Structure 1
Amino acid sequence: MAQQDTIERVDSGCHDTTVGLVQSPNKSAEMIRAATLPALVENLTRHDKLDGAFNRTFLVTYKYFTSGAELLGLLIDRFDCSPPPTETEEWSTQTKPLIQLRVINILKQWLEHFWSEPKGFDTDELLQRMQSFAERAAETPTQQLNVIIQRRLSGNAYTKRSHLSISNPPKPILPRKLDKLQFIKIDAKEVARQLTIMEASMFNKLQREELLHKNWQKSTTPELAPNIQSLIRYSNQLSNWVCATVLAESELKKRAQVVDHLVSVASNCHQLQNYSAVISILSSLESAPIHRLARTWAMVTERSCNMLRPLQAMILSAQNYQAYRETLRVTVSPCIPFLGLFLKDLTFIEDGNPAVTAEGLINFHKYTMLATTIHEIQRWKEAPYCLQSVPELQDYLATQLQSAAEIHEMWDKSCELEPKGRGLGNRPRDLYTPTGGMSASMVVACMVLDD
């Protein structure tokens, strides 16, 4: 267990700076566990230390424990701080200018990368107040700050330049007739590529603010997390489509061939590090309507069974999905992670940790965990996939996904294809046994839309 200390640091003479500190396991760094709001702002603008991780956590999560107007007021107070009674002239000539520079830099970071204030009169008033401060603080480097404020006032948000791939994408593997597409005749690798392009486009639109306050669960205000809801809807549609595609084949041999093809698609998605699609496909193959098709599974090829086993092992729920988390930990971008597990983690952090400690301090440890998880999600947007879109294939896949019925509506169709009680005849059943919902439960547990 980490050693916890409470220290008092005073360098401005303005604030109550009692801060709860917990040392990291290697004893080489301090992590703020709890503090008053003024103390957090002081740590944000320390003259003697620049803590980028703390600054990022604070700016990502500040809306949990303060408002934009209050934060600006505290930063201005910090800029105008008076020396402690015991300080000498050296404080005014060396320490205070560094504090003021930190304040300006934090304002720039806030505006450029972490601005989450809603559009409206109050926000414009906040920006105008910030502009007045910047003009008053002209003796410090504020020219760039003024430019950023003007950009925000005009409604032009800062946009991060996208990383352009310098590699040439692989040539698409096209079916002979693009105007008469059939799933079984589309190369599995190309299906995986197009599904990955489609989902990556949605994933890259995900905004940090959508991940705060469990916004994705608030169905009455979908505008708070539109991209998360799109991703959830897409994952559910992909699972529904997989199930519907298998059950659409009335002939046993062809139905097994469809399962073979879907397994190959999942394997190719895994090679592309599109773990989200892998989990959606496997959740459907292990759903009740497909799991019960013993005669179909008996005809699935040994090759497909061998491909399925490591994929299934990766998403086992044992030890809080440790195998999947370890896979993700060592993965290098580009990658599409399964968002549902992150949403589950964020919900656990939100619900399982109080906002305020027993001492009445802001529980900053909670917000550090939230910010760390959000940063983990955001970092997968850094590198793009080098793949070529095929509009005809994407249109076909999008239409199929959107028209598929819900999995829970397919039980009767499954029972019609393989009535209960029918045996396997002479066909062996020892190649592969689906678990019947291990990965499906992962999707159901994580992909929640309603509060």
Structure 2
Amino acid sequence: MEHVIDGRACKKTHREGNTLCISENGKDVLVMEMVNGKLQVVAGTNEKLFIKLADEASQVIIDLIDLDYVDTYLMNHACFTTSAELLENLIARFHIEALAGETEYFDKWQRCIQLKVLNVVSRWIKIQYQDFNNSRQLLRRLESFVNNSIKQAGFSAEAKTLREALDIEMAKCTRSRHSLVALTSYSLVGSGQTTPPSTPCLSSFSIASHHQSHSQSRRPSLAPSLLSFVSSVTPPDSPISSSQQLQSQSQSQSYNAPPLLLLYEAKEIAKYLTLADFYTFKCITAHDYLNGQWKNQSAEHKGPRNYIGTMTRRANMLTHWVAHELCVLKTPKQRKTGLRKMIEIAKLCLEWNNFHTSMILTMGLTSRAVQKLDDWQALPSRDTHVFHGLQKYLDVSSNMATYRQAFNKVKSPAIPFLPLVLKDLTFFLDGNPTHTPPPPPPQPSQQVVVMQSETMTTCSSENLINFAKFQSLARFMNRLLSHTSENYSFAGELEHFPFFFGIKFYDEEKHALDGVAEVVEQRIEGVADCYHDSQCVPCCIDKIK
């Protein structure tokens, strides 16, 4: 059986069940599997994976661009090549030339390949422009290709489209990401209970002018382990010389301010906390998850655009803030009210699919110091029952099955528990090999062994890139980012974003949540100097007991 992969040579193929292997010189170079009636790449050499981006597989428009494959490749290409090498290869592929005796083949496929290359470049700009923003040399090379080579090849309209896409992304990068999220917040407002709509795919340049037009609905273009996160929330004893001083300063600020939990309704506080974490979560891109420095614990405070670090820091501060808010309540009656209100806030967050904030607040309530309060005994059975229900989502047994089963049923808008997101992402990145395992000893009756794992295939060649790993990772990313495709129905009640850097009022009129936003954020920031101090909360609790 012969199979043409790039038009330059014929490749031998062999099948084993649902697996198709394309080989050269007796070694597999591309492995595909039939999934739901469609061949999907699961492994291949770097060269063959690249050619698959813009190959001659079909001239039919519906098969012309496999956006799932293209997006997966672009999102993860840094794991097996460099951005500079990828761009140069795309440019070379665009300038493909006919060899001796290939005129007929060349005339048939040249324009199709060039259009596919242009669509790959377009997707790269739109879903991962950070690669170009991080390298001036890479951006200049792309601009030269767009402004010169593409036009000279007769693709003026396509060059204009790419130039416009570049200008849009360059303009976005002149502003912080959170300022763009703030500016577009109202356009996302939905019911909060509907299924997230599909986002239209970027149209395919002028392919429709050479074939019949076609459009598809597409998904939106595109977070340390749990244990390490929990340890940072409740840090072990550490030799902080200024511990008592920091705790005293924080206590003084809190006790001099009116009790927050007595000033506002639980629903107001829950709404604000939900919107604050939702917008911060929305700022995190696939590039941040896959190529960021979030694994480095010291990165928590670095830079206003480190949104994973920002959300991690905020979660740690929220856990500490729970205890501080209870400490400012001077009487047992007030503390009982405070506990009930904190439980109600966490419950409301959960009802709005805000698992992250709900679970972070529950962690604060379950901390050893807070659990020592005698006021727990005075809570009504209803509140105790609700609190026990909230605690179930923090149960780590069976890989946090209670949380996972509940979250898998939610619709956008939703906020997943960030520590578990980071833990799962670590598993995808480090728990699966980037290259396929070495081949097993030769067996006369079997050339290909397909493993049960979704992300691993053993082939008769070494050093094939395990593309199934990156497909699983891309699906995980798409599901993760889809949770912010709609906004909360109450988003219009907040005009002030004090949780973002430098975001002020857009008008003089305050909206319903702006007042609570200012007070809550000031109180949360009030623990910024002491939330790392493991002795602060116990000292606060001991003082009021």
Identify whether the pair has TM-score above 0.5, normalized to the shorter chain: yes
Given that 1:104 and 1:145 are in contact with CA atoms closer than 8 Å, whether structure 2 keeps it comes out as: no
- Which residue in the other structure is 1:438 paired with? none
How far apart, in 2, do the equivalents of 1:248 and 1:330 lie? 38
Q: Which of 74, 93, 96 matches 1:59?
A: 74
Q: How much does 1:191 deviate?
A: 0.9
1:408 alignment partner, SS class: coil
> Is residue 167 of structure 2 the alignment partner of residue 151 of structure 1?
yes
Q: How much does 1:379 deviate?
A: 1.2
How far apart, in 1, do the equivalents of 2:406 and 2:130 lie? 32
- Which residue in the other structure is 1:411 paired with? 538
Q: TM-score, normalised by structure 2?
A: 0.66
Given that 2:72 and 2:474 are in contact with CA atoms closer than 8 Å, whether structure 1 keeps it comes out as: yes
How far apart, in 2, do the equivalents of 1:23 and 1:329 lie? 26
CA change 1:392–1:162 in 2 (3 A) is closer
- Which residue in the other structure is 1:377 paired with? 480
How far apart, in 2, do the equivalents of 1:9 and 1:338 lie? 47
- Which residue in the other structure is 2:195 paired with? none
Structure 1: unaligned runs, 5 residues or longer: 1-6, 170-178, 419-451
Amino acid at match of 1:37: N
Amino acid at match of 1:12: G
What fraction of aligned residue pairs are identical, expressed as a percent?
22
Amino acid at match of 1:403: G
Amino acid at match of 1:55: V
Q: How much does 1:333 deviate?
A: 1.0
How far apart, in 2, do the equivalents of 1:346 and 1:194 lie? 28
> Is residue 124 of structure 2 the alignment partner of residue 110 of structure 1?
yes
Q: Which of 325, 328, 332 matches 1:252?
A: 332
Given that 1:111 and 1:149 are in contact with CA atoms closer than 8 Å, whether structure 2 keeps it comes out as: yes
- Which residue in the other structure is 1:331 paired with? 410
Amino acid at match of 1:29: K
How far apart, in 2, do the equivalents of 1:153 and 1:326 lie? 37
Q: Which of 110, 118, 135 matches 2:151?
A: 135
How far apart, in 2, do the equivalents of 1:213 and 1:194 lie? 30
Q: How much does 1:153 deviate?
A: 9.4
Q: Deviations over 1:93-144 (max 9, x none)?
A: 4433222211111111111222222345412332234223312322585234
Q: Where do 1:3-402 residues align within 5 Å?
A: 10-13=5-8, 18-24=29-35, 26=36, 28-47=37-56, 48=58, 49=63, 50-81=65-96, 89=104, 91-117=105-131, 118-131=133-146, 132-139=148-155, 142-148=158-164, 151=167, 164-165=187-188, 182-218=260-296, 219=298, 222-223=302-303, 226-293=306-373, 295-357=374-436, 358=438, 359-387=462-490, 388-389=493-494, 390-402=513-525
CA change 1:281–1:92 in 2 (3 A) is same
Q: How much does 1:282 deviate?
A: 0.5
How far apart, in 1, do the equivalents of 2:185 and 2:401 lie? 32
Q: How much does 1:411 deviate?
A: 2.1
How far apart, in 1, do the equivalents of 2:463 and 2:87 lie? 22
- Which residue in the other structure is 1:176 paired with? none
Amino acid at match of 1:408: S
How far apart, in 1, do the equivalents of 2:277 and 2:324 lie? 20
How far apart, in 2, do the equivalents of 1:163 and 1:59 lie? 30
Structure 2: unaligned runs, 5 residues or longer: 12-23, 175-179, 193-256, 439-461, 495-512
Q: How much does 1:309 deviate?
A: 3.0
Q: CA RMSD for the aligned pairs?
A: 3.3
CA change 1:292–1:32 in 2 (3 A) is farther
CA change 1:237–1:340 in 2 (3 A) is same
Q: How much does 1:242 deviate?
A: 0.8
Amino acid at match of 1:65: F
Q: How much does 1:192 deviate?
A: 0.5
CA change 1:38–1:129 in 2 (3 A) is farther
1:21 alignment partner, SS class: strand
Given that 1:32 and 1:365 are in contact with CA atoms closer than 8 Å, whether structure 2 keeps it comes out as: yes
Amino acid at match of 1:35: G
Given that 2:304 and 2:310 are in contact with CA atoms closer than 8 Å, whether structure 1 keeps it comes out as: no
Amino acid at match of 1:137: A
Given that 1:334 and 1:383 are in contact with CA atoms closer than 8 Å, whether structure 2 keeps it comes out as: yes
How far apart, in 2, do the equivalents of 1:379 and 1:269 lie? 19
How far apart, in 1, do the equivalents of 2:305 and 2:127 lie? 18
Amino acid at match of 1:334: P
